[in-house]
């Protein structure tokens, strides 16, 4: 059947109308897409900034906070173990890292909750690493509509030239998962490094050894001696105030923790044996703590028949303080001086 002229005209008119409608709609579609792209980019930028803040600021801050509290809780746990199970004492850095991670991250040890068991250690209650990560997760969801999770996996403690003797370095290994309504991030390997102070932390080395030697712990806390020029009077204050001193031939805090007596040139610390411990004092051993408990330093650079000395004004019949040549030297405690009161000096040789 032939198509009439009118049919052709109507068909062409219909095609033109459809084309006009399509051209009218298309710019609006393009306009909506173009407006959506900046919104997506902005949303991604916000998420990236939030992730950067987490990795470069927040994780470091909460590590310093929870690590300091965690170290005190860890020592408290070890005090419980002295009578319960001394095999739990850390003898290697690997075991120390593993135990400390459990305490800091979850306030637990080998699956046992420290604050809800017979230990009754509440130092980390609501203050663990996972508690703080949970708070960050909730704020991210509530205010930014971002779902983010940090999964801590392990940590490493260390001391070096960077930390010095009065801080501990910590490296936390974790992974991060984050997603928004338009994008997702999965970071499988995140290593966060920072340091935390040990000032005010209990000296587990001293606690453990005084307990072993006397049957009761004598608890001291890490406080550096505020001394610029050492002499006998400064040493007396050092003893009475239970302070600590940097010493490059001594072990550092971590080494003391695991009974490793090797030297730490960057970070070694030492203290003096206290008068209240003199009842079980050894003979012929220096009263510098790592020398005393490690049975070290008694033969250090012996001067003829004598290698240990009492100190006039410090050593008594009850407190038989002794010191060896390395530590009495001018570069250490500076006990070699003479004056009108002590024309022969203040060091009295101890006969073997």
Report yes or no: 221 and 203 within 8 Å, Cβ to Cβ: yes
Report yes or no: 309 and 288 within 8 Å, Cβ to Cβ: no
Domain ranges of the chain: 46-197, 202-352
Q: Would the pTM count as exceeding 0.75?
A: yes
Report yes or no: 103 and 130 within 8 Å, Cβ to Cβ: no
Q: Concatenated DSSP letters for 164-181? A: -TTEEEEEEEEEEEEE-S
Per-residue pLDDT of the chain (352 residues; tens, 9 = 90+): 455 545 545 544 554 454 444 444 445 444 444 555 565 678 788 999 999 999 999 999 999 999 999 999 999 999 988 877 888 899 999 999 999 999 999 999 999 999 988 889 999 999 999 999 999 999 999 999 999 999 999 999 999 999 999 999 999 999 999 999 888 999 999 999 999 999 999 999 999 998 887 777 889 999 999 999 999 999 999 999 999 999 999 999 999 999 999 999 999 999 999 887 755 656 678 999 999 988 888 665 445 556 888 999 999 888 889 999 899 998 999 998 666 666 667 888 876 5
What integer pLDDT is reported at residue 170 of this predicted model? 98
Question: How far does Cα 283 stand from its chain's mean position?
Answer: 37
| End-to-end alpha carbon distance in the chain | 134
Rounded-to-integer distance, Cα 267 and Cα 248, Å: 7
Report yes or no: 256 and 204 within 8 Å, Cβ to Cβ: yes
What angle in degrees, to the nearest 10, is found between the helix axes of 129-144 and 59-84?
150
Ranges assigned E (strand) in 126-247: 147-158, 167-179, 184-197, 245-246
Rounded-to-integer distance, Cα 266 and Cα 247, Å: 9
What integer pLDDT is reported at residue 320 of this predicted model? 87
Q: Any idea what DSSP says for residue 86?
A: G
Rounded-to-integer distance, Cα 326 and Cα 21, Å: 98
Rounded-to-integer distance, Cα 141 and Cα 147, Å: 6
Q: How far is CA 262 from CA 60, 184, 254, 331, 332, in A?
A: 30, 48, 11, 20, 19
């Amino acid at each position: 059947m032939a198509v009439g002229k009118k049919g052709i005209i109507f068909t062409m008119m219909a095609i033109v109308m459809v084309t006009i409608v399509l051209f009218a709609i298309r710019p609006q579609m393009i306009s909506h897409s173009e407006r959506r792209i900046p919104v997506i980019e902005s949303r991604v930028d916000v998420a990236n900034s939030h992730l950067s803040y987490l990795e470069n600021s927040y994780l470091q801050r909460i590590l310093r906070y929870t690590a300091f509290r965690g170290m005190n809780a860890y020592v408290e746990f070890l005090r419980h173990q002295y009578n319960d199970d001394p095999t739990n004492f850390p003898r290697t850095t690997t075991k120390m890292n593993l135990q400390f991670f459990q305490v800091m991250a979850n306030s637990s040890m080998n699956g046992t909750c420290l604050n809800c068991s017979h230990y009754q250690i509440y130092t980390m209650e609501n203050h663990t690493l996972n508690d703080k990560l949970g708070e960050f997760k909730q704020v991210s969801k509530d205010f930014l509509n971002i779902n983010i999770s940090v999964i801590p996996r392990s940590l490493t403690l260390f001391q070096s030239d960077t930390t010095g003797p009065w801080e501990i370095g910590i490296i936390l290994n974790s992974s991060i998962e984050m997603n928004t309504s338009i994008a997702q991030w999965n970071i499988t390997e995140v290593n966060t490094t920072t340091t935390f102070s040990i000032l005010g932390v209990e000296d587990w080395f001293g606690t453990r050894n005084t307990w072993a030697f006397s049957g009761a712990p004598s608890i001291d806390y890490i406080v550096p001696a505020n001394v610029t020029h050492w002499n006998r009077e400064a040493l007396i204050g050092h003893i009475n105030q239970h302070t600590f001193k940097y010493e490059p031939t001594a072990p550092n805090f971590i080494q003391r923790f695991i009974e490793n007596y090797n030297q730490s040139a960057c970070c070694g610390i030492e203290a003096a044996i206290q008068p209240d411990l003199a009842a079980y004092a050894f003979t012929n051993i220096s009263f510098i703590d790592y020398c005393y408990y490690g049975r070290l330093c008694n033969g250090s650079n012996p001067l003829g028949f004598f290698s240990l000395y009492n100190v006039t004004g410090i050593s008594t019949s009850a407190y038989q303080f002794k010191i060896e040549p390395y530590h009495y030297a001018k570069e250490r405690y500076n006990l070699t001086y003479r004056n009108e009161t002590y024309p022969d000096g203040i060091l009295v040789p101890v006969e073997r």
